[in-house]
Amino acid sequence: NAGVTQTPKFRILKIGQSMTLQCTQDMNHNYMYWYRQDPGMGLKLIYYSVGAGITDKGEVPNGYNVSRSTTEDFPLRLELAAPSQTSVYFCASRRTSGRLNTQYFGPGTRLTVL
């Protein structure tokens, strides 16, 4: 299993540009998440999905959109990039059941908006 994979690893955007951060997991997990991590801060939840076709907002959804057309993929879309969106973005997934229902994280995408 590759686990959770994210592309790209790094990206520099100009203000107003758009892009899609890709996330794929091969563990057949129903739940998937997008977080952002700012320097010296914990992770903040942007959006999450409990299964294909179902998404919901987290703590900081403004400026982002998501879709979940398949179990494996959960892309994050930035429509009009702003400097405040400079951050490291992590995708995660987990099973829906089980006591040890830990999240598995991807390696992250480092985004800079200039």
Partner 1 sequence: KQEVTQIPAALSVPEGENLVLNCSFTDSAIYNLQWFRQDPGKGLTSLLLIQSSQREQTSGRLNASLDKSSGRSTLYIAASQPGDSATYLCAVRHETSYDKVIFGPGTSLSVIP
d(CA 19, CA 99): 36
User: Please, are residues 64 and 47 in contact by the beta-carbon 8 Å criterion?
Assistant: yes
Residue 105 lies near partner 1 (rule: CB under 8 A)? yes
The CB-of-105 to partner 1 minimum distance in angstroms stands at 4
SS3 83: helix
The CB-of-71 to partner 1 minimum distance in angstroms stands at 17
Buried b (16+ CB within 10 A) or exposed e, 92-107: bbbeeeeeeeebebbe
Residue 40 lies near partner 1 (rule: CB under 8 A)? yes
Site string for partner 1, 56-95 (x = CB under 8 A): x-x-------------------------------x-x---
Q: Which is nearer to partner 1, 13 or 33 (CB)?
A: 33
d(CA 15, CA 10): 16
Site string for partner 1, 13-32 (x = CB under 8 A): ------------------x-
